[in-house]
Amino acid sequence: MVLKVGGNAFSGWTSVIVEKSMGQMAGSFGLATTDTFPGEARKWDIAMGDECIVEINGQKIITGHVEDILIDYDTETHNIQFGGRDKTGDLVDCSFDGTIKEWKGLSVKQVIEKLCEPFDIEVVVDNSVSTVANVVWPGNMKANEGDTVFDLVLKICQTKAILPISYGDGKLTLTQAGKDYQAYDNLVSGVNILKGGLDQSDKDRFRTYIVKGQGVGGDSLSSLFDFTGPAGRATDNIIGRYRPIILFTETPTDKGRCLE
């Protein structure tokens, strides 16, 4: 595990924490070590806010900034830990501060690019969502005062079944959770898994999901129905008891999108 900051590479960590998941727009890291010679603290030349890269075997897993520096010492030891997140962490924290708060005649990708531009974050579209991400949005997309950029990006992506994620390269990738991908590494207990655990909960899981919204109408009777009452329903058969939930879309939609 290597931390690169300002042209320098640091390794030899005694503790390593890296967190990445499909549910996180920004991965995070924590790297700790103990100085070899007590009383002679190593000069790290790492400051808060420094741009950094974390690599495993030469592969980038985090490209972002140093956000935490923790120092602990006594008469015999001197410990230090560096932490941070991907560049996309700024999208999670920061509020939208643009002068234009409504977009029309733009695609999902174009709007998200405008949201990410002030943060100097490139938006990449995966082949799995290239069609829906580049189609012009039917109607308007609006931002509310106080929304974080993450909230806006997520709201836009959810209506198109798009997953915004960071692959650790400092970019925001628009992709889709798929079933056609396979991991080729073997995870073996006692070999490369030294400790594990499992937490299970279905508190946020429901039997029936009902999605309702309002669409864009047209001249025909069928399009009028799509405008006044687009809705979709799905059932999770694993949940055996009666547990319904109704979800409302925040942007114009149609029956097909509600069913998705």
**What structural domains does the chain harbor?**
2-86 (2.30.300.10), 91-175 (3.55.50.10), 208-259 (no CATH)
Residues 6+ apart with CB under 8 A from 231: 210, 211, 212, 213, 255, 258
Q: Report the pLDDT value the prediction gives residue 153, as an integer from 0 to 100.
A: 94
User: Residue written as tokens 């806006």?
Assistant: 152
Are 26 and 93 within 8 A, CB to CB? Answer: no
Residue 208 near residue 235, CB atoms below 8 Å: yes
Query: pLDDT 10s digit of each residue in the chain, 260 long?
Result: 999 999 999 999 999 999 998 778 899 999 999 875 555 546 788 999 999 999 999 999 999 999 999 998 888 788 899 999 999 999 999 999 888 888 888 999 999 999 999 999 999 999 989 999 998 877 778 888 888 999 999 988 988 889 999 999 999 999 987 756 677 788 898 888 888 888 989 999 999 998 887 665 555 545 545 555 667 889 999 999 999 999 877 666 655 665 55
Q: Cβ atoms within 10 A of the Cβ of 252, count?
A: 20
Please state the pTM of the whole predicted model.
0.74
Q: Which residues pair with 123 in a beta bridge?
A: 172
Token couple for 175:
């992709």
Cα(200)–Cα(19) distance, integer angstroms: 19
Helices (H), 135-241: 149-158, 221-228
Tokens, residue 77 = 């030891």
pLDDT for the residue 218: 54
Query: 132 CB contacts (<8 Å, ≥6 apart)?
Result: 108, 160, 161, 162
Rounded to whole angstroms, the Cα distance separating 123 from 120 reads 10
Both ends of the chain: CA-CA distance in Å? 41
Q: What is the pLDDT of residue 116?
A: 95
Chain position carrying tokens 């974390």: 54
d(C-alpha 105, C-alpha 140), whole Å: 8
